[in-house]
C-alpha cells in the first residue's frame, strides 16, 4: 500500500506539472458574485432523482427538511436547486427537549428516563419557510476552509506569514507554554499539533474571545505532537481549538479580527454579498437563514457527565461552569430554534459568534465562487487573492495515514466513490456538523456544494449500556453528497453502449469525466473499438492540457506534440495501437525509471518486443498492466478503447 501511495504522489506531481487547472479556460466568462449559469436540464433531473427522496416532511431521523445543491463544471453552474424547507420545526412541547430552558441536567436526566429508541421529533411550525437558492446556511466546520484556511493562504502568499512551518509562538508568544513551544501552523492545519480537540469554553466564558485565547495558551498538549521523520507531523486528532488558534494568528498578523479580515480582504473583493459571520447583525433576517438545532441540545449532552457518563468529552473539571450555565449566571442556554445564530456552542456563547472553527454563514453560489477561486489557482474575475503555488501546496497530501491537506480534507467518503471518481490529491473540500458539504476536483473542474439543514428536523437517539444519546447530524448530509457526486460522475461519464456492470465502466467514467478519452458521438463510447497510435498520442496530449486543434487529421496536433516530447517517434499514426505500445507511450510520458523483470512471470513474456521490455516491466510493476485471463500480457494485441481507459485510470490513480 505504501508503494502505491508513493506512486500516486509521483504521478500527481508529474500530471500537475504538465496540465493546467481545467477551469482556467472559463475565467473570461466569470461574473462577479457568482459563476455564470449554463443549466443542464439532464444533469438537474439526475440530481433531483437522488436528492428528493431525502427531503421529507415526516418526523424521523432519516428525514432532511431542506437542502440546496449546486454543481458547477469548468467555471459554470450546470445545476442549482433548492428543496424543501429552510425552517420546519421548533422544540417539542413534551419530552426531554421541552425542558431546554431548565438546563443541561434536566434535559439529560429526562432523556435517560424516557428510555425510548424512537427519534425525538419537533413541533411543525404554522408557516414553514421554503428553502431558496439564496438561503444562508450555518457552514459549521466549513468555516475552517472557507474562512480560516483562506486567510492563512493569503497571508502566506503575501509573505506576511513567512512559512506554515513557523511556530504559533512566533506570532503569539504567550502560546509558548506547557509543551506548546514548538507547535507550528502546519501542525494546526493538519490537526497534528497535539493540542486538545475541544474544551467547553461556554462553561467558562460569556462572549470573551480574548479570555478564550488566554485559556488556550495555558492548555497543555493532549496528544503526541511534534515532528517525526515519516510525515513531519504528529498524532492526528481533529481539533477545533487548533483552527481557533489559527484565527488568532491571522488577527495577530493582520491587525484585524478574523471576520473583518476575510470580509475586506477576500469576500468583498470577490463580490460575495451572502457570506458573513453574524448574519442577523449584518443585514439579514431569520427568514433568510436555514434553521438548525433546537437551542443547545448537543452542547448540553457533551458536558453533563453525571447524567450521560461516557458521552463525548470528559468535562468533570467544568461542573461549576455547568451549574452557572444551568442557572443562567453565565448566560442562559438557548432554548429556541436557531435561525441565523451559529449552532456551535463555543463560538456562539463564548466567542460572540466568531471563531476560526465555526460561525461563517454562506450560500451555495457564494461557496462555488470560493471553490472556483481555488480551481483557478487563486484568481477570480481578475481579482487575485493568493498565488497558484500556495493553492497547490495547501491542497496536496500532507499525511501518509490521513487524507489531509493544509486545512482541506482529501478523498473522504462523503465525496462519492473514490475508486471511480477521484484520486489522491485531485479532490479537496470539507464538511460541517450542521449538514454542509463542499468539494472541488482539479482533474474535472467540478464543484459540488450540498447544503442541508438536517438538524432542524429533530434528533434521533441510540442506546448504549442503558444510556441514551442524541445522534449526530452530518451522516445524512454525507449520504446526499455521495449520491449527488456519484450521479454527477455517472451523468458525465455514461454512455449508451457501456452497461453499469461493464468491467471497465468505472475507468470509462474516469477518463470521460476528465476529457482524457472522449466518446465517439451520439452517446456512445465504443468500448470494444480499437484505438489508433495517433489517437493514443492525442489522448496523452489532451491529458497534458495541450492544444490539439489543427492539422490535416484529428490526431495531427497530438502526434506532433508527442514526437516533440519524446513520447513516440510518430510512425504509423493511423495503425491500431498495441498494448505494449500503450505501455511504451505512458512510460515515456512519465519519464519513469526502469523496473527490471516484472513481466517475466507471464506466460507470453517472450512475445514482448525488445524495445518495449523496459516499459512493459514498468507497467506491470506499477499495476497499469495486470494481464488477461490465463496469465497472459498479450503485448502484441491491439488495445481496445476500454483497455486504454483502464490503463489510463491506473496510470493516474494507482
Closest C-alpha to 582, from 618, 549, 632: 618
pLDDT value for 475: 54
3-class DSSP assignment, residue 280 = helix
pLDDT value for 422: 47
The model carries a pTM of 0.84
37 close to 408: Cβ distance less than 8 angstroms: no
- Listed by start position, the domains of the chain span 1-54+63-81+133-290+338-461, 492-653
419 close to 506: Cβ distance less than 8 angstroms: yes
For 294, phi and psi rounded to 5 degrees?
A: -85, 90
322-375 tens-digit pLDDT: 999 999 999 999 999 999 999 999 999 999 999 999 999 999 999 999 999 999
pLDDT value for 228: 42
DSSP-derived secondary structure for 77-138: EEEEEEEEEEEEEE--SSSGGGGGGG-HHHHHHHHHHH---SPEE-EEEEEEEEP-TT-BEE
pLDDT value for 537: 95
Q: What residues in the chain have per-residue pLDDT under 50?
A: 1-28, 58-61, 227-232, 420-424, 473-474
Grid coordinates representing 434 are 450542521
Return d(Cα 630, Cα 638) in angstroms, integer.
18
528-544 in b/e form (b: 16+ CB < 10 A) is: eebbbbbbbbbbbbbbb
* Cβ contacts of 306-315, under 8 Å, gap ≥ 24: 306/105, 307/104, 307/105, 307/108, 307/109, 307/111, 307/112, 308/108, 308/111, 308/112, 308/467, 308/469, 309/467, 310/464, 310/465, 310/467, 311/467, 311/469, 313/197, 313/198, 313/199, 313/200, 315/200, 315/203
599 close to 617: Cβ distance less than 8 angstroms: yes
Alpha carbon distance, N-terminus to C-terminus of the chain: 10
Return d(Cα 452, Cα 265) in angstroms, integer.
28
CATH superfamily of 1-54+63-81+133-290+338-461: DD-peptidase/beta-lactamase superfamily (3.40.710.10)
pLDDT value for 505: 87
pLDDT value for 196: 93
Handedness of CA 617, 621, 623, 628 (dihedral sign): positive
Amino acid at each position: 500500500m505504501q508503494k502505491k501511495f508513493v506512486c500516486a504522489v509521483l504521478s500527481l506531481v508529474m500530471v500537475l506539472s504538465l496540465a493546467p487547472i481545467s477551469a482556467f479556460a472559463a475565467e473570461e466568462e466569470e461574473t462577479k458574485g457568482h459563476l455564470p449559469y449554463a443549466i443542464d436540464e439532464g444533469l438537474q433531473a439526475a440530481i433531483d432523482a437522488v436528492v428528493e427522496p431525502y427531503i421529507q416532511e415526516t418526523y424521523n431521523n432519516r428525514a432532511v427538511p431542506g437542502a440546496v445543491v449546486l454543481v458547477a463544471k469548468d467555471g459554470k453552474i450546470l445545476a442549482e436547486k433548492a428543496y424543501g424547507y429552510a425552517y420546519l420545526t421548533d422544540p417539542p412541547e413534551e419530552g426531554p427537549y421541552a425542558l431546554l430552558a431548565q438546563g443541561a441536567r434536566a434535559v439529560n436526566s429526562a432523556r435517560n428516563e424516557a428510555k425510548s429508541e424512537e427519534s425525538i421529533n419537533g413541533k411543525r411550525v404554522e408557516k414553514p419557510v421554503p428553502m431558496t437558492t439564496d438561503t444562508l446556511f450555518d457552514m459549521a466546520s466549513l468555516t475552517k476552509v472557507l474562512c480560516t484556511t483562506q486567510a492563512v493562504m493569503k497571508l502566506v502568499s503575501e509573505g506576511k506569514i513567512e512559512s506554515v512551518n513557523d511556530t504559533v509562538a512566533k506570532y503569539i508568544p504567550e502560546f509558548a507554554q506547557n509543551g506548546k513551544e514548538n507547535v507550528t501552523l502546519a501542525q494546526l492545519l493538519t490537526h497534528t499539533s497535539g493540542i486538545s480537540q475541544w474544551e467547553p469554553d461556554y462553561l467558562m466564558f460569556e462572549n470573551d474571545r480574548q479570555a478564550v485565547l488566554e485559556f488556550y495558551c495555558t492548555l497543555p498538549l493532549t496528544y503526541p505532537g511534534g515532528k517525526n521523520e515519516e510525515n513531519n507531523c504528529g498524532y492526528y486528532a481533529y481539533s477545533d481549538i487548533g483552527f481557533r488558534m489559527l484565527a488568532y494568528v491571522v488577527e495577530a498578523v493582520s491587525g484585524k479580527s478574523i471576520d473583518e479580515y476575510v470580509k475586506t480582504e477576500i469576500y468583498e473583493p470577490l463580490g460575495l454579498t451572502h457570506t458573513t459571520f453574524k448574519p442577523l447583525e449584518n443585514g439579514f433576517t431569520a427568514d433568510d437563514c436555514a434553521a438548525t438545532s433546537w437551542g443547545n441540545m448537543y452542547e448540553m449532552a457533551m458536558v453533563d457527565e453525571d447524567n450521560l457518563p461516557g458521552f463525548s468529552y470528559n468535562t468533570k473539571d467544568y461542573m461549576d461552569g455547568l451549574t452557572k450555565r444551568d442557572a443562567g449566571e453565565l448566560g442562559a442556554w438557548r432554548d429556541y430554534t436557531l435561525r441565523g445564530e451559529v449552532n456551535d456552542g463555543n463560538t456562539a456563547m463564548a466567542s460572540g459568534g466568531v471563531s476560526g472553527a465555526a460561525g461563517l454563514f454562506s450560500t451555495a453560489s457564494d461557496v462555488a465562487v470560493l471553490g472556483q477561486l481555488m480551481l483557478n489557482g487563486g484568481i477570480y474575475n481578475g481579482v487575485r487573492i493568493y498565488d497558484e503555488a500556495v493553492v497547490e501546496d495547501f491542497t496536496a497530501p500532507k499525511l501518509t495515514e490521513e487524507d489531509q491537506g493544509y486545512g482541506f480534507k482529501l478523498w473522504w467518503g462523503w465525496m462519492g466513490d473514490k475508486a471511480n471518481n477521484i484520486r489522491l490529491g485531485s479532490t479537496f473540500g470539507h464538511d460541517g456538523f450542521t449538514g454542509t458539504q463542499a468539494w472541488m476536483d482539479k482533474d474535472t473542474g467540478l464543484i459540488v456544494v450540498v447544503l442541508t439543514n438536517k438538524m432542524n428536523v429533530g434528533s434521533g437517539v441510540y442506546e448504549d449500556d442503558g444510556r441514551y444519546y442524541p445522534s449526530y447530524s452530518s451522516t445524512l448530509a454525507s449520504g446526499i453528497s455521495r449520491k449527488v457526486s456519484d450521479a454527477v460522475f455517472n451523468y458525465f461519464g455514461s454512455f449508451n453502449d457501456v452497461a453499469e456492470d461493464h468491467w471497465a465502466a468505472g475507468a470509462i467514467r474516469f477518463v470521460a469525466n476528465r476529457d482524457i478519452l472522449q466518446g465517439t458521438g451520439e452517446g456512445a463510447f465504443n468500448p470494444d473499438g480499437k484505438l489508433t497510435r495517433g489517437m493514443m498520442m492525442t489522448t496523452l496530449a489532451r491529458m497534458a492540457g495541450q492544444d490539439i486543434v489543427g492539422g490535416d487529421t484529428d490526431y495531427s496536433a497530438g502526434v506532433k506534440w508527442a514526437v516533440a516530447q519524446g513520447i513516440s517517434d510518430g510512425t504509423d499514426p493511423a495503425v491500431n495501437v498495441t498494448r505494449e505500445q500503450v505501455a511504451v507511450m505512458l512510460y515515456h510520458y512519465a519519464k519513469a525509471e526502469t523496473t527490471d523483470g516484472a513481466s517475466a512471470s507471464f506466460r507470453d513474456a517472450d512475445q514482448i518486443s525488445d524495445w518495449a521490455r523496459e516499459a512493459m516491466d514498468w507497467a506491470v510493476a506499477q499495476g497499469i498492466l495486470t494481464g488477461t485471463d490465463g496469465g497472459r500480457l498479450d503485448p502484441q494485441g491491439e488495445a481496445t478503447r476500454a483497455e486504454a481507459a483502464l490503463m489510463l485510470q491506473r496510470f493516474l490513480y494507482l
